[in-house]
Amino acid sequence: MAVTIAPFGRTAAGEEVLAGRIENAAGMAVTVLSYGATVQSIQVPDRTGGLRDVALGYDTLAEYEANDGYLGATVGRVGNRIGGARFWLNGQEYPLAKNDGENHLHGGVRGFDKYVWDMAAGADSLICSRVSPDGEEGYPGALTVTVTFTVTADSALVIDYAARSDRDTVVNLTNHTYFNLSGGGSALDHELRLSARRFCENDGGCLPTGRLLDVTGTAFDFRESKPLGRDIGAAEEQLRLAGGYDHCFALEGGPAAVLYSPASGIEMTVETDMPGVQVYTANFLTPRPGKGGAVMGQRDAVCLETQLFPNAMNCWGFPSPVLRAGKPLSSRTAYRFAVR
């Protein structure tokens, strides 16, 4: 295992940003930027042994700063949406930044993806940390967050989230990597399997209504592996509202997801202790140049964002994102790569 950290660039505000790299003996290499604790690249061998970069991203820091889409980023304090950009906790109302119409998305105007984190090297990992001050984007409590990226000998990227707050608060951390297991082009041929019989119904703003829908007989049934593109154009209200898949599935145990590219032979298995995974088919990814100048756009990737169900503070019965003062939060998601 080799772990190195090198300068990547400076933000427009002059802050130094680092790029950490972890490589295992099998040739798998992951690059993480201290800007946004962002996964910039994941190189894994395909079925011929050639390396493919299976994560969308940019070559320069300026592009990360200028562009939307949260490519590869750590999102928080609360990833995904909070309806009406407000929540109640301990009898008090907390208004949050509105950055998605009337709603709050991915931590607000300046979420965790837009901060420079501290970065340190471990034996087989990169450890990113930051303190989100009390009141940031409207959230109560100073929150100390550590996100550890580990590459294992058997070619998994393991992401460990740890956090602690000095006041009661809400937290829902995830990673927003756009996976393309072919290394580029459309991801609609990728075969996806999910261990989910139910998913969160969305309203017109991709905000969960609080109802869980059964996937049976719908385009949302991924219990048997099928190409992402097979049903994405089906005449179903939930697909129409989101312009594709942009929904949180309720996980049931076993691997959360298995994604496979027939073109490269690369298979990725996702394991998590989170109750949900947001499946997002890059519906809002406007065409833009990425690494090496290759153009990427809508449907050219899929995000598998493991998390608590979105809008949980406004949906009775959803697992709670409340983190009590002084209590440790810890969560793990692993993305394991293989070929077949």
Contacts of 242 (CB under 8 A, 6+ apart): 202, 206, 283
Told to judge if 176 belongs to the known catalytic residues of this protein, a careful annotator would answer yes
Selected binder of ligand GLA within 8, 64, 70, 179 (CB under 6 A): 70
Contact set for ligand GLA, span 94-133 (CB under 6 A): 105
Contact set for ligand GLA, span 74-93 (CB under 6 A): 80
Contact set for ligand GLA, span 188-207 (CB under 6 A): 206
Q: Which two tokens stand for residue 6?
A: 């090198």
Q: Report the distance separating Cα 176 and Cα 69, nearest Å.
A: 9
Residue of 136, 137, 267, 305 marked active site? 305
Stretch that binds ligand GLA, among 33-41, 120-128, 135-143, 277-285 (CB under 6 A): 277-285
Q: Does the footprint of ligand GLA cover residue 278 (CB under 6 A)? A: yes
Nearest to 148 by CA among 226, 74, 72: 74
Q: Look at the block and give the residue holding tokens 């608590």.
A: 308
Q: Does the footprint of ligand GLA cover residue 280 (CB under 6 A)? A: yes
Beta bridge partners, 170, equal 322
Q: Does the footprint of ligand GLA cover residue 303 (CB under 6 A)? A: yes
Q: Does the footprint of ligand GLA cover residue 284 (CB under 6 A)? A: yes
Cβ atoms 301, 282 nearer than 8 A: yes
Stretch that binds ligand GLA, among 116-124, 139-147, 278-286, 289-297 (CB under 6 A): 278-286
Told to judge if 104 belongs to the known catalytic residues of this protein, a careful annotator would answer no
Q: Which run of H or of E encompasses 39? A: strand 38-45
Q: Report the distance separating Cα 199 and Cα 249, nearest Å.
A: 4
Report the chain's C-alpha Rg in angstroms.
Answer: 19
Residue of 176, 190, 191, 247 marked active site? 176
Q: Does the footprint of ligand GLA cover residue 72 (CB under 6 A)? A: no
Nearest to 87 by CA among 98, 96, 100: 96
Nearest distance, CB of residue 281 and ligand GLA, angstroms: 9
Footprint on this chain of ligand GLA (rule: CB under 6 A) = 69-70, 80, 105, 206, 246, 278, 280, 284, 303, 305
